[in-house]
Structure 1
Amino acid sequence: MIASLVLGSRLISFHELIDGLFHRDVDSYEANVVRKRISRTVFSLLGGAALGISGALMQSVTRNPIADPSILGVNTGASLFVVCGIAFLNISTANQYIWLALAGAAITAVFVFGIGSMGRGGATPIKLVLAGAATSAALSSLVTAIMIPRSYVMDQFRFWQVGSVGSATWSGIATFAPFLIVGIMIAVITAPALNALALGDEVATGQGVRTGMLRLVAALAGVLLCGATTALAGPIGFVGLLATHAIRLILGPDLRFVIPMSAMSGAIILTISDVCGRLIGSPGELEVGVVTAFIGAPILIILAMKSKVRSL
């Protein structure tokens, strides 16, 4: 958090940081920079936490060790609906973005799971990943097709498309917070039942778990967290994958610990990536979605090679 407040195209000294945080009467350029970075840092932490929890839930629901909102195409579905809203409905507020992003994320998640469930063996990890990759590619093409002939849409969201937390505002955070709270509550409540689900549907059913309803509710929470974050920051990929895998390596598979610690891990990953993007792109900045993709893509390849895409 301190690094996010002091590092960037303009380095902030300790004295300037204190002025910006605690002395509201100070109206220097440096103090104003600190105040602007506060909302950006808060959203990086909250958005990273949401993506971390979403990744943990999606991996558990699909029993797929490399499931992630970006890999399964959920981010791209949210992006498509938001871009359509801007191009055809003239939406411009965070509240409108969020509802459209949630609808797009939910429809895409259902579509990918439906495609991945076809054929022999049901929804296997490799089929889900392939269905998600194909769906994401198709939806990305639609997003591009909608934006290219509409320069005003492209100008307005060219940074949003690659994922950025630089435009975070307190009003946007206030709009995002209720979705984060509801998603976290659902994730925490369903964690014990998801532990039983990891043992197999038959074992979970024997323990009194309604597996169909559990998957629906947990997936809804994952889509809620991912869609709300995507609406405000754009499609930021690989955070859920990296956060959850790091915590599983340290703490094991118990979701009662994995879910809250994935939130912390996701917050750290997204905030550090944002700081790195500012430093690498100085005096401008490199959007955080580019940084997470640059880090996450090689790790995804390594995980797929080592696990051979086995089910959890």
Structure 2
Amino acid sequence: MEGATLSKPLILPAFQAEEVHCTGRAFSSSLSAREKKLVCVTSGNSCLDSHIVKELLANGYLVRVTIQNPVDFEDIKELMKDEEINQLESVVVAKMQDLESLCDAFRGCHAIFHTSSFIDPHGVSGYSEHMAFLETEVARNVIKACSGAAYMRRCIFTSSLLASIWSDDNLDRTIDEGCWSNEEFCRENKLWLALGKTTAEKAAWGKSKELKVKLVTVCPGLLMAPSFPYAHKDTSLPYLKGGSVMLQRGILATGDVNKVADAHVRVYEAMDDGAFGRYLCFDKVVERLDEGIQLENELKRHGLRPGSVVSAEETREVHSKLCNSKLAKLLLEGSQGKSCRQ
């Protein structure tokens, strides 16, 4: 089965997870699906995606998940409980570089959540310059498929804080949603994940304007999870390339994966009420060297400590230049609105 050439997506119904069924046009945009707000989450076998799926299910959404290969379903079973998997509308094998495959997967959906084009839960492949190029090509594909198949043409696109922080001329500037990383700076310093997220997000914005897809982007810091460091080793290692510079500049920020997932859902829900543009997403800025050392120990890697440092410097605070007030305001307004409804 894995070696077969698939012209249409493979459907893995959640209630028959151990069986594999091939179909033609997999889904129809039925009225009942629209009423339940069917949404699709790409690459559901990653740590962040699985948490977004859980958050959507907990809020009563009908959720479809895509994976790149049938074997990736094993990762989903490790990341989610059986009862959560059984709540899914379906799991669809859809190649991220195959536009027709994505269109079939997105058909009838109210919105698309796209977090990453490359998922490596076991953290063995790293992130290369070539991946940065492909990440950008897939971003265009996702927006094209969203335009052609998702009936509401909405996309919640996960970028990264890395797409805003890397520049050689912003040392004293507050970094917010208006800031973009310098692509040439990223290339010169081999910051491939930062480059990939920057170019992919820009491509998504360009294509969404062209095709009239309503787009919002969430730009999280380094993801943190209870099962650290293995739950998202694939993103933590490439994210921290240049980590000592981030720490010194006060731009090294982390985000609890549960809070980041919740932010994705809240931003989506606020799109009807004016949510727009980019949202920087983090809940902690590493501002002291001892905090950086603690992060190193949790990651079981080193490189944040800038050479030999005396103990007095370990508690020296670095002034943060990051600002996520736009997201904080949206979340506050959302919680107030929810309290009023209750």
What TM-score comes out, normalization by structure 1 length? Answer: 0.24
Greater helix percent: which structure?
1
Greater strand percent: which structure?
2
What TM-score comes out, normalization by structure 2 length? Answer: 0.22
Which gives a bigger RCO, structure 1 or 2 (Cα 8 Å, sep 6+)?
1
